[in-house]
Amino acid sequence: MLASSTSRIVRCSGISVISAVGASSLASPPRRISRAVRDPMVVTTGHEGQGPSRAARSLTTSATSSRSAPSDHGLIMEREPLRLAPGEPLWVFGYGSIVWKVGFEYDTRILCAARGYRRRFYQGSTDHRGTPEFPGRTVTLEICDEINPPCWGAAYRVPPEDADRVLELLEVREKQYDKRIRLDLYDDAGEVVVKDAVTYIATGAKENLNWLGEASVEEVAETIATAVGPSGPNSEYLLNLAQAMRGIDVHDPHLDELERRVREIMESRAGE
């Protein structure tokens, strides 16, 4: 039964699960290979919106001064082969927009966490929440010490018969992220509930043409409050993610602080 149909919700170790939990290792002979291709759905023009303020323009300049400015390159990043055993499902970990806008069919959803990672708005977005002229910021996973709180999100089980199609969709959706990784996911008791889930992250590697990197909360908030792209305002991305985290009882101090500051900036501009 797919998520678009009626699903049964149960509780498992304090974690919400839709349908039955099926965690399995996904390492076996390769079933498919991802390669760099031109995205046929690239949108080259964004929605008109409020232009960047002088402070925001200076943020873009300083964030990209040491490398070329982010661009909507329209290429799907070169990937290593994804290895799935015949008949095995595909598990996908969402920690950003996938949590509130899944965009693909699945039969099981588990709330879980990636240990040793934290959520940060380091990736520039020129294809969804910004433009090449003024990139927005979207989240990636940053490696951190495991004594830090884990990054909570949701894992989605894609049936074997849909795995190829969903992977192809994700390769386009996450085309500006330079790495697809596999990781184990944990419940609130510290037990592994999903093994080898797939997720996409951005790094500061030279291959990543859209990396913005670390910046102060104020700088990140100014960018998010200003940027607009083909998928809509960057602020919408942040606010929807913050609401989704609250909806699953997750407290993310960094996300909460950014939400508060972005709302303040937006309210201040509305009163001008």
Q: What is the dihedral of CA 257, 261, 262, 263, to 10 degrees?
A: 110
Q: Which two tokens mark 162? A: 């849909």
Distances (CA, A) of 96 to 74, 191, 239: 21, 23, 11
CA angle 5, 10, 15 (to 5 degrees): 115
Is residue 264 annotated as part of the catalytic site, yes or no? no
Size of the chain in residues? 272
Secondary-structure percent of the chain, ordered helix, strand, coil, rounded to 5? 25, 30, 45
Q: What is the dihedral of CA 217, 102, 8, 22, to 10 degrees?
A: -90
120 contacts 214 by C-beta, under 8 angstroms:
yes
- Among residues 88, 171, 174, 219, which one is catalytic? 174
80 contacts 164 by C-beta, under 8 angstroms:
no
To which residue do tokens 């500061």 refer? 204
**So which residues are the catalytic ones?**
174
